[in-house]
């Protein structure tokens, strides 16, 4: 149908179109979602984190190479804040500084900025270039980061949300865009299944996708702490090592959470459930090892004292029991 146009109350031109389906892929502040909130029983939750982000750049070296090892996510974890760098095809690195907004706002002069970098990121300064860093920092504003969860993702057979419009997440799992593309795959599969009958396909899409979107939003929020703080702890490194060993021994049964989420199509909520199972197994294994070690130490001490002061040792008692059983 041809669009019809008229003036709305603000004097702006309002265009009306009749369409088969509205697909709201209009991002975290979705206008489609805002309209949906008025028309159906709609759950909505939004959370800004105290940190903002600013994108800096590490350019290629003068010889045109990557300035750091490529094929890695480089992290400068500083507990309350952090910086990360990801390689680009043009051999530069997008370098993102995450800090509480108060820290961004407290830096008012070039000297303050240099003090921060000399103290926390000295090795990055020759790569970023001091002048380059000052120029970007004082010409850019830190941007906010938020999580959006909502449900349902559809209105009848008329509208559906995909991507950040349905589930914006903080960027610490690097899954926001992937999750949006996966929405497209899931929706396409479901449309095929129901022969493009929107009245059946859209509710099925909401039902299938909602637990996964919520799970990845939560995982991304968890990684917010992991990346800037937990990676500095011994327990985190020990767990990483255990995961690597167990994955080598049982490649199909024991897949680390990050690998499952990033490199497989395992549904996000299943990744979370499998990780919970792994935690339980390691916890029980830990208890078993602790008890075994305690009993071992106890028996060794008993044997030592028995030998020193006389009296039956654990072996004597076992021997006596077995003799009694023979009788």
Closest to ligand FAD by CB, 26 or 157: 26
Q: What is the DSSP string of 28-42?
A: TT-HHHHHHHHHS--
Closest to ligand FAD by CB, 53 or 208: 53
Closest to ligand FAD by CB, 4 or 94: 94
- Interaction between residue 25 and ligand FAD (CB under 6 A): yes
Contact set for ligand FAD, span 109-168 (CB under 6 A): 163-165
- Cα-based distances in Å from 88 to 75, 157, 241: 16, 41, 29
User: How many positions of this chain bind ligand FAD (CB under 6 A)?
Assistant: 16
Sign for the pseudo-dihedral over CA of 86, 180, 261, 224: positive
- Interaction between residue 177 and ligand FAD (CB under 6 A): yes
**What's the CA gap between 11 and 237, in Å, rounded?**
60
- Interaction between residue 27 and ligand FAD (CB under 6 A): yes
Stretch that binds ligand FAD, among 177-185, 212-220, 246-254, 298-306 (CB under 6 A): 177-185
Closest to ligand FAD by CB, 210 or 278: 210
In the complex, the smallest distance separating the C-beta of residue 275 from ligand FAD, rounded to whole angstroms, is: 20
Bridge partners of residue 77, in order along the sequence: 82
Q: Site for ligand FAD (CB under 6 A): which residue of 57, 88, 96, 200?
A: 96
> Phi and psi dihedrals of 251, rounded to 5?
-60, -30
Closest to ligand FAD by CB, 152 or 176: 176
**What's the CA gap between 83 and 121, in Å, rounded?**
8
> Phi and psi dihedrals of 78, rounded to 5?
-125, 35
Question: Which candidate, 187, 179, 264, 184, places its Cα nearest to that of 214?
Answer: 179
**What's the CA gap between 19 and 81, in Å, rounded?**
46
Q: Site for ligand FAD (CB under 6 A): which residue of 180, 202, 260, 278?
A: 180
In the complex, the smallest distance separating the C-beta of residue 263 from ligand FAD, rounded to whole angstroms, is: 13
**Angle at Cα 259 formed by Cα 256 and Cα 265, nearest 5°?**
120
In the complex, the smallest distance separating the C-beta of residue 202 from ligand FAD, rounded to whole angstroms, is: 18
Binding mask 31-60 for ligand FAD (x = CB under 6 A): x---------------------x-------
Q: Site for ligand FAD (CB under 6 A): which residue of 175, 210, 223, 278?
A: 175
Q: Write the CB contacts of 224 (distance below 8 Å, at least 6 apart in sequence).
A: 49, 51, 170, 172
155 C-beta neighbours (distance < 10 Å), count: 18
Stretch that binds ligand FAD, among 24-32, 109-117, 282-290, 313-321 (CB under 6 A): 24-32
Q: Site for ligand FAD (CB under 6 A): which residue of 23, 26, 92, 101?
A: 26
Q: Return the beta strands (E) in the chain as ranges.
A: 4-7, 13-16, 22-24, 43-58, 74-77, 82-87, 93-100, 143-151, 154-155, 159-161
Q: How many CA atoms lie within 13 A of 112 on its CB side?
A: 9
Dmax (CA) of the chain: 105
Binding mask 239-278 for ligand FAD (x = CB under 6 A): ----------------------------------------
Q: Applying CB under 6 A, which residues contact ligand FAD?
A: 25-27, 31, 53, 96, 163-165, 171, 174-178, 180
């Amino acid at each position: 149908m041809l669009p019809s146009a008229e003036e709305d109350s603000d004097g702006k031109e309002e265009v009306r179109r009749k369409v088969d389906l509205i697909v709201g892929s209009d991002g975290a502040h979705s206008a489609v979602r805002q309209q949906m909130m008025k028309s159906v029983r709609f759950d909505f939750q939004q959370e800004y984190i105290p940190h903002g982000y600013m994108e800096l750049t590490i350019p290629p070296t003068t010889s045109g190479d990557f300035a750091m090892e490529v094929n890695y996510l480089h992290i400068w974890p500083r507990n309350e804040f952090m910086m990360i760098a990801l390689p680009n095809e043009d051999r530069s690195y997008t370098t993102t500084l995450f800090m509480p907004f108060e820290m961004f706002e407290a830096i008012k002069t070039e000297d303050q900025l240099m003090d921060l970098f000399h103290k926390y990121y000295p090795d990055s300064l020759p790569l970023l270039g001091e002048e380059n860093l000052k120029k970007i920092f004082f010409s850019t504003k830190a941007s906010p980061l938020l999580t959006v969860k909502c449900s349902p993702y559809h209105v009848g057979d008329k509208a559906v949300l995909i991507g950040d419009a349905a589930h914006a997440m903080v960027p610490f799992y690097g899954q926001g865009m992937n999750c949006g593309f996966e929405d497209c795959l899931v929706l396409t599969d479901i449309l095929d299944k129901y022969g493009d009958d929107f009245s059946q396909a859209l509710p099925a899409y909401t039902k299938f996708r909602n637990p996964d979107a919520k799970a990845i939003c939560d995982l991304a929020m968890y990684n917010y702490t992991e990346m800037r703080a937990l990676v500095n702890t011994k327990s985190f490194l020990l767990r990483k090592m255990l995961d690597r060993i167990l994955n080598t021994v049982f490649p199909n049964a024991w897949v680390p959470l990050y690998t499952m989420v990033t490199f497989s199509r395992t549904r996000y909520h299943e990744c979370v459930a499998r990780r919970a199972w792994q935690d339980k197994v390691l916890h029980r294994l830990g208890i078993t090892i602790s008890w075994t070690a305690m009993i071992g130490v106890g028996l060794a001490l008993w044997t030592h004292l028995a030998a020193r002061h006389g009296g039956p040792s654990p072996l004597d008692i076992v021997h006596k029991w077995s003799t009694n059983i023979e009788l």
